[in-house]
Structure 1
């Protein structure tokens, strides 16, 4: 609740809940999960995610950036596929291993 310019948060049972609610109200962020195209891979797509939360207003632009890219197999889970996406201090990483096509 925003009262006279001051944010009042009620109903939380721990300090982390208060911090989360404050951040969600002021600047909502989300972990992004999607897929990315793979060249020469056993599968045509690989699941990926952001290694940190992305500001909600930058999610669509991040998805467009990922859609432009194509990575080469083999890929190991945790590999950084896009470093500092959109100039943010956030990387897009592989969520699974993917071997080359036989």
Structure 2
């Protein structure tokens, strides 16, 4: 039996979690104080995911970049692929919060969306 440790990021408590496992099969999870911690440990061990936040180049906007994020977390193993797609993007202003920049980015099933309103330069 092996052990893997995590710090939960589900709430401000930051519980120290420990997953007892054999290969990819979880036998026991300890250290959590709520259901969020239990779910976090399960997900982080079996299929870790992250929300990606960054910026995209913006044409004709009041600012040269617009902040964006993935609407939902993406598999951690797909992060570099997602960032390679984002790095090549340049979108046209105006943009609004929630505008979809890329649907199903890098085949993840997750949309990349704007997180700020930016007007077009006249």
**Superposed displacement of residue 85, structure 1:** 0.4
CA distance in 2, matches of 1:6, 1:90: 27
Question: TM-score scaled to structure 2, two decimals?
Answer: 0.78
2:30 alignment partner, SS class: coil
The count of aligned residue pairs is 102
Q: Which has the higher contact order (CA 8 A, sep 6+)?
A: 1
Q: What is aligned with 2:17?
A: none
Structure with more strand by fraction: 2
Matched, 1:50 2:70: yes
Alignment equivalent of 2:118, drawn from 80, 98, 102:
98
1:48 alignment partner, SS class: strand
Question: TM-score scaled to structure 1, two decimals?
Answer: 0.93
4+ residue segments displaced more than 6 Å: none
Q: What is aligned with 2:46?
A: 26
Alignment equivalent of 1:8, drawn from 21, 28, 31:
28
Matched, 1:38 2:62: no
**Superposed displacement of residue 6, structure 1:** 3.3
In the TM superposition, what whole-angstrom CA distance separates every residue of 1:4-62 from its partner, at most 9, and x where no partner exists? 84331101111221111110011110000000001111111000000000111111110
Over the residues paired in the alignment, what is the CA RMSD in angstroms? Answer: 1.3
CA distance in 2, matches of 1:61, 1:92: 13
Consecutive unaligned residues of structure 2, counting only runs of 5 or more, are 1-19
Structure with more helix by fraction: 1
Consecutive unaligned residues of structure 1, counting only runs of 5 or more, are none
